[in-house]
Amino acid sequence: MILFLTAILIGFVFYSQQSVTTAIAIRQGRQRGFGAAFAVMGGALAGDALWLAAALVVVALASQIEPLRVIFSVVGSFFFLRLAWGALIDARQGAIPRYNGADADAGFQAGGRITFRNPYALGFWVGAATATILLLTTQPGLPDAVVFFIGVVLGALIWNSLIAWLAAQRPNGLTTGFFRIVNSVGGVLAALFGVIVLWSILARG
């Protein structure tokens, strides 16, 4: 249960920092409603889900090799801290998601292209999955990978649904203050994940 809840938080935090897809979804939600906004976010999630699945395969293959477990966990800690830094900088600056492309670029396929063409996600998910699963389980197995996958997807869906609904029904709520809160909370959570993972690695060493 702890792994599942942690994965939900990770999915929510990670997706809250995907500014391009969020910006496109907000524009679509304001112009065309919830369905159009959710289609963009759904496409992005589909692309990321492929990277996540590939990452979990890598994690499964490497889980029996102790040096790789340590390396991937350190990578996960780095990615969490990098995500936290970016989120906290955005919170301080009052940044909001922006996108200057054409409306024709929007839609499910566009969302998928944005994430599927971003190999950064593979590195992030390899590190995040390894660090989280090894931290919260004693003998990682396929059920743990499935739980992590479902949790991350659910967390992303919560963010996607929230943004799509706000863009369509409460666009005035998507203010600088709203994103400052989101980035602050996301930054703190990501920093905690990174520090806890790094501390656990040092403690085991």
In the block, residue with structure tokens 């009052």: 94
* Residues 125-170: tens digit of each pLDDT: 888 888 888 888 877 788 888 999 999 999 999 999 999 999 999 9
Contacts of 197 (CB under 8 A, 6+ apart): 73, 76, 77, 80, 131, 132, 135
Tally of residues, the chain: 205
State how far the Cα of 81 lies from the Cα of 157, in Å rounded to an integer: 23
* Residues 166-179: tens digit of each pLDDT: 999 998 989 999 99
Stronger pLDDT, 102 or 17, i.e. the higher one: 17
The predicted pLDDT at position 176 comes to: 93
Residue 182 has pLDDT above 60, yes or no: yes
The predicted pLDDT at position 105 comes to: 58
User: Rounded to 10 degrees, what is the CA torsion of 111, 117, 123, 124?
Assistant: -20
Residue 104 has pLDDT above 60, yes or no: no
Give the residue-averaged pLDDT of 189-195.
94
Do the Cβ atoms of 157 and 12 come closer than 8 Å? no
The predicted pLDDT at position 163 comes to: 94
Share of the chain above pLDDT 70, in %: 97
For residue 190, the enclosing domain spans 2-204
Q: How many domains does the chain contain in total?
A: 1
Whether the model pTM is above 0.85: yes
Do the Cβ atoms of 3 and 75 come closer than 8 Å? no
